[in-house]
Structures are given as C-alpha cells and as structure tokens.
C-alpha cells in the first residue's frame, strides 16, 4: 500500500512536469519576437506592422494574465480538482495559439497570446504542483515543487531550437498553429493523471510506539490551514509578494530578451543561449528546492538574490562589448536562468510552509500574482529602455539595485518568521508543561 501510494505520487509529479514542459513555451518568446522584428524590418504584404517599443507587449500581457489567472485557477483546483483545471488550461492555450497563427494583427496577438494563452498557462500551471505536494511528506516539499516546476523552465531546451527550425521552414504563423495543436493534445492528455490523494491519506510515517516505561513524545504543534482572506491580512504575505515581484521581474526582463542579447555575438545560433538558459532555469528550481529543504527557504533566497544582482553587474560589460564573447554570454545567461528558476520552487514552498495545503491553490495564486506584476512592469521597462538607448545597460543596473533591495527584505522576513516560530514554541511549551 505504501509503495503503491509512493508510485502514484511520482506519477502525478512527472505528469505535472510534463504539462509544464508544454506550457513553458512562454520562455521562448524572444525567438518569436525576433521573427516578428524581422518581418517588421522586411515589410511588404502580410508582414507585421507593429511599433518596435511594443514587441514585448504580448509577452508582458501573457505574464500578468498568467499570474492573475492563477488565483481563479487555484480556487477551481482546490474545489474541483487538478484534472479539470489543467484540461481547461490546455484548451485555452491551444485556442490562443491557433488564433494568432491566422493573423499578424497586434490586437489579436495581445488577446490570443496575452489573454487566452496566458489564462491557459495559469490554469495548467496552477494544477500541476498542488496534487504532487499532497502525496509527499513536508521534508520533500522543496524537491517536489522544484521537480514539477522544472518542466516550465526546461521547455526552452527543445522549444527554442524547434521553434527556430519551424519558423525558418514554415514561417511564424504556421509554427504557432503546430504548437497550438500539439500543446492542446499534450496538456489535456496529461491532465488525466493529475489526482489528489484519497481522503484520510497522510504522507507522514507514524512514529513507532514508545518502549515500555518510556514516555510518549510530545506532539508537534499543528499547522493551521489559512484561508485566502486570512493570508491577505498578514504583513508577511506582502513582504513575500514584493520580494517575488523583484526576483521574478529581474529574471523575466532578461529571459524575454535573451535571444536579442545573444544576437550580436552568436548570430543565427542565438537560440542556443535561450535553450542553455533554460537548462539553468530548470536546474535552479530543483537544486534550490533541495537546498532550501536543508538550510531553509530564507537563507537560500538571500543567497540567490545577491548572486543574481552580482550577475547583472557582470553582464553589463560582457553583453555590451563591441566584440562580445558568445561563450561568456551563454555562461552568464545560464547562471541568470539558474537564479531566476530558484524563485519558482522557493515561493510555492514558502506558501505551503506558512499557510498549509488545504487552500494552497488559491493562496499560491495570490502570491504568484507578484510574478505577473514583476514580469509585466520590468519586461516592458526593459524593452522601452533598449528602444531608447540601443543597449541593455540600464536594464541590468535597474535589476541589480532591485535585487539587492529584495535580499534586504528577505532578511526582514526571515527575522519576522524566526520571532513567530519562537513565540509558537513558547506557547506549545506552556500547553504541554
């Protein structure tokens, strides 16, 4: 029975990872943006006719819609289960991509890629992690969350070269059609494997009975399952939310322009920077999850935020050099992706640790709205700064400053949580005395 439950948990985990491998097409936007820019420059009948400062708009809208859709999707996931929620996501992503494959209209790309696909990604993503976490004990929270969300980060490893090939052979619109049909089938198919544990299931092993004459161990303090209305009254929620805005936004502003940053040094092979960044992105989610299970969420997050700030500073002379080294660009992109990826395993783990699993879907949806706000604001700002200066320097400096602020806020959050834990231990000690 125990072995069957363990196998079921891993099946749910890897099904969620597979869904995210499809939905992670969002991180390949820089490939599609490059094709749109080429079409604008080329001109002629059937070409894209967008303003250059608007090239990131579908991506930015998709980010913020994805994030806020997580709130509704989380509620549906908590109430009706992950299977239905993920299937709805697959249908919406498929419809969105199929629609934009038929047009070059800026407005329809905003609706199709930004609104429909963004909502679909939110539904699929929100349904993938909660059921997996419910099958495993608390000491594996970081690892399981990291594995499930690693699929989203890893997607660009195959989508970047595949998308580049399809765009070159078939054109951008046909490529969108192929992706739309494929992801509708894949996400809806894998959603059938997403199931919650049966009522009464507990992943925590029962403690052995005490030996004769030995006192029974004192029970641990029960974790409260917070409702969304309770979570939103807590100062810790807003601290966590602001830190997530910074960590996610700084990463997304780089990811959305990765191909453009690598173009000068790598030419037509720039998609490799996107694909290799994706490996770092996925690795960061898994490794940070495992590390945070050992040294704590806050310690891990502080290290990663400061490391990301340092990388932003190092990237300025490397990316801006007259003869930029393709090797150095790829190395920096990989580490930037790694550090960004850590956010996507640490924040769901924080949410479960602090506020429980019962309302995890909607609670993490509320936290995840920060990802959308950060992605929307900073990716849009990055594109505007680049359009006005022709360089990425201002974007890197802005991101570095924000990341340092995020690390300071994490120190504050860590101190608050430590104080709360001490108070809870004192209360428990009095109750059991």
Cβ contact 142:351 at 8 Å: no
How much is the pLDDT for 222? 47
- Tally the C-alpha atoms within 13 A of residue 285's C-alpha that lie toward its C-beta: 25
Instruction: Categorize the per-residue pLDDT at 381 as very low, low, confident or very high, splitting at 50, 70 and 90.
Output: confident
Is pLDDT of 103 > 70? yes
Split at pLDDT 50, 70, 90, the class of 234 is very high
Please check the confidence at residue 352 and state whether its pLDDT lies above 70.
yes
Residue 62 lies inside a defined structural domain of this protein: yes
Q: How many CA atoms does the CB half-sphere of 100 hold within 13 Å?
A: 28
CA gap 89, 133 in Å, rounded: 20
**What average pLDDT does the segment 371-387 reach?**
79
Domain-embedded: residue 302: yes
Total tally of structural domains belonging to the chain: 1
Q: Which residue has the higher pLDDT, 181 or 390?
A: 181
**Quick one: which of 39, 40, 37 has its CA closest to 29?**
37
Q: Which domain holds residue 257?
A: 8-43+50-195+223-432
Which residue has 């801006």 as its token pair? 320
The overall average pLDDT reported for the chain is 83
How confident is the model over 185-232, as pLDDT tens digits? 999 999 999 998 888 777 765 545 555 555 444 444 446 789 999 999
Find the helix packing angle between 118-134 and 82-100, rounded to 10°: 160
Residue 42's Cβ-side half-sphere holds a number of Cα atoms within 13 Å equal to 11
CB 318 within 8 A of CB 433: no
- Does residue 295 surpass a pLDDT of 90? yes
pLDDT band (50, 70, 90) for residue 429: low
Domain assignment present for 173: yes
Q: Say how far apart CA 428 and CA 159 lie, in whole Å.
A: 51
Comparing 28-37, 145-154, 157-166, 374-383, the range with the smallest average pLDDT is: 374-383
| pLDDT band, very low/low/confident/very high, at 321 (cuts 50, 70, 90) | low
Q: Who wins on pLDDT, 215 or 129?
A: 129
Q: Which of 19-28, 169-178, 380-389, 414-423 has the lowest mean pLDDT?
A: 380-389
Please say whether the beta carbons of 123 and 89 come within 8 A.
yes
User: Among 293, 282, 423, 373, which Cα is nearest to 70's?
Assistant: 373
Percent of the chain with pLDDT over 90: 37
203 in a structural domain: no
Ranges 56-70, 107-121, 293-307: which has the least confidence: 56-70
Which of 140-149, 276-285, 334-343 bottoms out in mean pLDDT, i.e. has the lowest? 276-285
CA angle 221, 362, 351 (to 5 degrees): 40
Separation CA 251–CA 375 (nearest Å): 8
Cα-to-chain-centroid distance, residue 259 = 19
Q: What is the pLDDT of residue 346?
A: 93
Q: Assign 175 a pLDDT band (cuts: 50, 70, 90).
A: very high
Q: How far, in Å, CA of 336 to CA of 277, rounded?
A: 7
The pLDDT value given to residue 217: 45
CATH of the domain at 297: 1.20.1250.20
Q: How many CA atoms lie within 13 A of 120 on its CB side?
A: 30
Rounded Cα distance between 353 and 359, Å, is 12
Of 270-279, 403-412, 415-424, highest mean pLDDT: 403-412
Indicate the length of the chain as a whole number.
433
Tokens 């420059």 belong to residue: 41
Q: How far from 356 is each of 207, 221, 234, 289, 415, CA to CA, in Å?
A: 22, 13, 14, 17, 20
CB atoms within 10 A of CB 412: 14
Q: What was the pLDDT predicted at 307? A: 94
Is 421 among the domain residues? yes
């Amino acid at each position: 029975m125990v072995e069957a439950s363990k196998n079921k948990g891993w099946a749910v985990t890897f099904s969620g990872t597979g869904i995210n491998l499809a939905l992670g097409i969002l991180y390949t936007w820089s490939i599609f943006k490059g094709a749109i820019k080429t079409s604008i420059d080329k001109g002629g009948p059937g070409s894209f006719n967008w303003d250059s400062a608007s090239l990131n708009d579908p991506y930015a809208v998709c980010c913020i819609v994805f994030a806020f859709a997580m709130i509704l999707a989380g509620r549906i996931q908590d109430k009706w289960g992950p299977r239905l929620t993920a299937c709805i996501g697959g249908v919406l992503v498929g419809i969105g991509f199929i629609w934009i494959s038929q047009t070059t209209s800026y407005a329809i790309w905003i609706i199709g890629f930004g609104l429909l696909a963004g909502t679909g990604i939110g539904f699929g993503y929100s349904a993938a992690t909660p059921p997996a976490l419910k099958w495993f004990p608390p000491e594996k929270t970081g690892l399981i969350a990291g594995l499930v969300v690693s699929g989203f980060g890893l997607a660009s490893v195959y989508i970047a070269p595949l998308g580049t090939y399809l765009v070159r052979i078939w054109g951008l619109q046909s490529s969108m059609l192929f992706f739309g049909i494929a992801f509708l089938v894949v996400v809806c198919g894998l959603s059938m494997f997403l199931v919650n544990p049966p009522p009464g299931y507990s992943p925590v092993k029962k403690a052995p009975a005490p030996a004769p004459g030995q006192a029974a161990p004192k029970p641990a303090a029960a974790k409260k399952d917070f409702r969304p209305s309770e979570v939103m009254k807590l100062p810790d929620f807003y601290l966590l939310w602001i830190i997530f805005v910074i960590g996610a936004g700084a990463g997304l502003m780089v990811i959305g322009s990765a191909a453009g940053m690598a173009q000068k040094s790598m030419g037509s092979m720039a998609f490799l920077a996107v694909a290799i960044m994706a490996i770092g992105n996925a690795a960061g989610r898994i490794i940070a999850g495992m590390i945070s299970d050992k040294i704590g969420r806050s310690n891990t997050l502080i290290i990663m935020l400061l490391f990301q700030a340092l990388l932003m500073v190092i990237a300025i002379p490397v990316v801006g050099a007259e003869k930029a080294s393709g090797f150095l660009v790829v190395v920096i992109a990989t580490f930037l992706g790694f550090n960004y990826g850590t956010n996507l395993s640490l924040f769901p783990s924080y949410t479960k640790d602090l506020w429980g699993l019962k309302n995890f879907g909607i609670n993490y949806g509320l936290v995840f709205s920060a990802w959308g706000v950060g992605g929307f604001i900073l990716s849009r700002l990055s594109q505007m700064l680049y359009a006005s200066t022709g360089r990425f320097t201002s974007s890197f400096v802005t991101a570095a400053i924000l990341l340092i602020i995020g690390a300071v806020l994490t120190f504050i959050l860590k101190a608050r949580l430590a104080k709360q834990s001490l108070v809870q231990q004192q209360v428990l000690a009095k109750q059991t005395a």
